[in-house]
Amino acid sequence: MFRRTNDVPEESETVTPQRVDSILGANISWQGSLTGSGIRIEGAFDGDIALDGLVVVGPAGRVTCREMKAQTVVVAGSVKGDIVASKVEILKSGRVWGDVTTIAFSTEEGAFLRGAITMEEELDLGFAPKEPPEAPDVPDQDQADPDPDAGNAEPSD
């Protein structure tokens, strides 16, 4: 009666898992620019963020930026600046002062946003496409030993 059909791809086949690789701790203040693949901010950050991955602004996190650009942004703390991301989620403790440009947007009851929301069908974040690592070069058998009989010479009398 309740059978799964195979015409809908599994979630794991369609969604690239994103994870946090670094944490900016609660008692840390940092200025500059962040690039990389994933971060959780629990302290204070002032500068631009461009991450090809996940940005989580924790409940105690405070970000001041001209623009935050990432694949996914989850805000539980405060962000003062524009957000450009494929997916943006503002949790009930989250506060955003700035414009949001996104493909998917969600908020919890109690979340705060002062700015414009622009929903797009597609969004080019400008990150280079991820390519699988290349296999090491292995020379062809013919190229490895140009004269196959050179090592097999019979001893002469």
pLDDT in tens, 6-45: 544 444 333 445 777 778 888 888 899 988 888 899 999 9
Q: Alpha-carbon torsion 70, 15, 41, 38, what sign?
A: negative
What is the rounded distance in angstroms from the CA atom of residue 135 to the CA atom of residue 125?
Answer: 28
- DSSP readout, 43-54? SEEEEEEEEEEE
Structure tokens at 35: 């690039």
Q: Which SS3 state, helix, strand or coil, does residue 89 take?
A: strand
List pLDDT tens digits, range 56-65: 999 999 999 9
pTM of the model: 0.69
What is the rounded distance in angstroms from the CA atom of residue 6 to the CA atom of residue 110?
Answer: 39
Structure tokens at 105: 């947007």
